[in-house]
Amino acid sequence: MRNFVFVFLTVFVALAQRPAAQQEEVHKAEKSWAAAVVARDLAALEHIFHDQLIYAHSSGAVESKGEYIARLRTGAQKYDAIEFQDINLRMHGDAAIVHAHVRMKGQSNNRPFDNRLMMLHLWVKQGGSWHLAAHQTTELPK
């Protein structure tokens, strides 16, 4: 009986800690995404982005993983800073939705921007790693 109780409690504690651990993993993935975009670390972004990424900008432009990475590679899209002002995260099994207010500074098509945005990210866990599957931003009033 003691063995059963011990096994039960061990499994219960492990399952109870799983959502918190996964939330921490997604928070780390968010930070890794922002750092990689600012640094134009294309190798990191190749891993972070899901192969079927939908990347929707506040301008209304929508790009695939390849299109977005190409814009970063050529310098058509550059970020000087991405600052999170708040983050709201919801777990859904092996998927996570992140809603945040962010400030993004940089250049797009050689025009500087300094935008306050509402951002929505969809992360999916595959092969033990979190991948950004969808990005959507909406510009907030200044």
Domain locations in the chain as residue ranges: 2-139
Question: Taking the CB of residue 128, how many other CB atoms lie within 10 A of it?
Answer: 6
Give me the pLDDT at residue 31, please.
Answer: 97
- Predicted local distance difference test score (pLDDT) of residue 100: 98
What distance in Å separates the CA atoms of residue 126 and residue 113, rounded to the nearest whole number? 34
Which residue type sits at 65? K
pLDDT at residue 142, rounded to an integer: 77
Select the CATH number that applies to the domain covering 2-139 from these four: 3.10.580.10, 3.90.960.10, 3.10.450.50, 3.40.50.720: 3.10.450.50
Instruction: List per-residue pLDDT tens for the chain, 142 residues long.
Output: 555 444 444 444 444 445 789 999 999 999 999 999 999 999 999 999 999 999 999 999 999 999 999 999 999 999 999 999 999 999 999 999 999 999 999 999 999 999 999 999 999 999 999 999 999 999 999 7
Query: In the prediction, which pLDDT does 7 show?
Result: 44
Distance CA(130)–CA(61), nearest Å, equals 24
